[in-house]
């Protein structure tokens, strides 16, 4: 067996509100519909695979002969963030949400961070990542204090100017924060280093971001694959999201295009197993900034690179495209949105045009991946492989 599966997560490309969206404050959210209305949206390859044939996508140009099997995936976990979304894709359904900090972090945590890092903390409240450096960057540069902030997600973020705090010191501060929140029992999903450069009043975040995640609370499809000698290649944030566990190779990326360049390179190599890709620009650069046209343009560029990937697939290969949550750039909110995710599965051994309807859980992807490689399903989820493979 020399099978390869390329699992690509279009970070935040939701396809419409789930029935429980109102409980998350996300009624009416629909990321794909919002960007499909932009003049910059052009996605012929996704369209041909069947993106607009998925249940509920009746506003787009569906095709009469989809090349992929397709489905609408439901998130069952109690959350709408990157960590929980990817954990569910990998087979873990989270019954409880990771903690958030709408009032900022508790004083005892902040005091402990200041003592252990040797630097004072600024801000300590939910903030836009670009706005926080605009508002606190000058004070940080003048004093050397670190910028501590959060968001609507379970994240603790520390921002620092690369000319004031070296990357290694910033990363070490984040490692310290990871240890500290774990010791204090706060279970924050991710600690994120947010370096930036520039001079007042114009500061720019760099590509040297690094995430320090909470380890998955159970076995994932990655554990099952790696334990059976299969490759588990992470491109983008995958290595960070899974805390490096059961990842055989990890490749951080600068942006979506770099991520696709690495994926295309892997498609030209011999390996047997999974290439798990996260493309975060959709979320980080456009969804959170309510940039409809920018998001649409990013999908257009991904579609172009997808057109380069598909011809590189070998007879036993497949590509599966999905998302981890929504982030509708057309709503007043700049936060993630509780949405269904798309699922497109394409390969020479996969029947095109199979409508799998609305699936119960993102975890069905994990189950399908395990069965695809001939493994017993060890995680949550129900495989749909037998419904789509050629017999």
pLDDT tens, position by position, 58-77:
998 899 999 999 999 999 99
Strands 69-73 and 341-346, bridge-based pairing: antiparallel
pLDDT reported for residue 60: 86
**Which helix (H) or strand (E) element contains residue 320?**
strand 318-322
pLDDT tens, position by position, 309-325? 999 999 999 999 999 99
Give the whole-angstrom CA distance, residue 351 versus residue 149. 47
Give the whole-angstrom CA distance, residue 202 versus residue 273. 44
Count of other CB atoms within 10 angstroms of residue 201? 8
Give the confidence band of 391 by pLDDT, cuts at 50, 70, 90. low
Give the confidence band of 174 by pLDDT, cuts at 50, 70, 90. very high
Count of other CB atoms within 10 angstroms of residue 357? 10
Give the whole-angstrom CA distance, residue 371 versus residue 379. 11
Give the whole-angstrom CA distance, residue 61 versus residue 63. 7
* Section 100-123 average pLDDT: 98
Give the whole-angstrom CA distance, residue 298 versus residue 295. 5
Task: Name which of 134, 131, 161, 129 is nearest 145 in CA terms.
Answer: 161
Q: Is the dihedral of CA 322, 328, 334, 339 positive or negative?
A: negative
% of residues, the chain, pLDDT over 70 = 99
Give the confidence band of 257 by pLDDT, cuts at 50, 70, 90. very high
Give the whole-angstrom CA distance, residue 173 versus residue 193. 8
Walk me through the domains of the chain, giving residue ranges and CATH numbers.
Answer: 4-96+217-388 (3.40.720.10), 107-212 (3.30.70.1250)
Give the whole-angstrom CA distance, residue 184 versus residue 107. 12
DSSP letter at 271 equals -
Write phi, then psi, for 226 (nearest 5 degrees): -65, -40
* Section 93-119 average pLDDT: 97
% of residues, the chain, pLDDT over 90 = 98
DSSP letter at 369 equals H
Strands 355-359 and 121-126, bridge-based pairing: unpaired
Cβ 323 vs Cβ 72: under 8 Å: no
Cβ 109 vs Cβ 186: under 8 Å: yes
Task: Name which of 213, 214, 208, 176 is nearest 193 in CA terms.
Answer: 208
Specify the pTM. Answer: 0.94
pLDDT tens, position by position, 182-239? 999 999 999 999 999 999 999 999 999 999 999 999 999 999 999 999 999 999 999 9
């Amino acid at each position: 067996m020399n099978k390869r599966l390329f699992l690509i997560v279009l970070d935040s490309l939701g396809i419409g509100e789930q029935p429980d969206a109102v409980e998350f404050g996300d009624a009416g959210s629909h990321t794909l519909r919002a960007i499909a209305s932009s003049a910059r949206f052009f996605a012929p390859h996704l369209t041909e695979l069947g993106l607009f044939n998925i249940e509920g996508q009746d506003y787009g140009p569906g095709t009469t002969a989809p090349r992929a099997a397709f489905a609408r995936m439901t998130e069952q976990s109690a959350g709408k963030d990157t960590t929980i979304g990817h954990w569910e894709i990998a087979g873990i359904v989270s019954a409880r949400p990771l903690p958030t900090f709408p009032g900022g972090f508790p004083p005892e945590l902040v005091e402990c961070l200041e003592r252990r890092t040797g630097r004072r903390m600024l801000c300590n409240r939910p903030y836009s990542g670009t706005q926080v450096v605009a508002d606190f960057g000058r004070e940080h540069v003048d004093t050397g204090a670190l910028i501590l902030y959060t968001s609507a997600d379970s994240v603790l973020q520390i921002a620092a100017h690369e000319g004031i705090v070296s990357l290694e010191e910033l990363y070490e501060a984040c490692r310290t924060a990871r240890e500290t929140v774990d010791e204090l029992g706060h279970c924050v999903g991710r600690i994120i280093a947010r370096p930036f450069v520039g001079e007042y009043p114009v500061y720019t975040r760099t590509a040297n971001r690094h995430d320090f995640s909470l380890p998955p609370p159970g076995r994932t499809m990655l554990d099952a694959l790696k334990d059976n000698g299969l490759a588990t290649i992470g491109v983008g944030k995958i290595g960070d999201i899974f805390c490096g566990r059961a990842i055989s190779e990890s490749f951080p990326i600068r942006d979506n295009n770099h991520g696709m360049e690495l994926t295309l390179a892997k498609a030209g190599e011999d390996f047997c197993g999974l290439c798990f890709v996260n493309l975060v620009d959709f979320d980080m650069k456009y969804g959170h900034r309510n940039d409809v046209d920018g998001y649409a343009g990013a999908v257009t560029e991904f579609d172009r690179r997808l057109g380069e990937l598909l011809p590189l697939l070998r007879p036993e290969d497949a590509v599966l495209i999905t998302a981890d949550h929504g982030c509708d750039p057309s709503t007043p909110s700049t936060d993630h949105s509780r949405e269904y995710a798309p699922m497109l599965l394409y390969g020479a051994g996969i029947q095109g045009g199979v409508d799998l309807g609305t699936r119960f859980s993102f975890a069905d992807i994990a189950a399908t991946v395990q069965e695809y490689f001939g493994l017993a399903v060890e995680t949550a989820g129900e495989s749909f492989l037998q419904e789509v493979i050629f017999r």
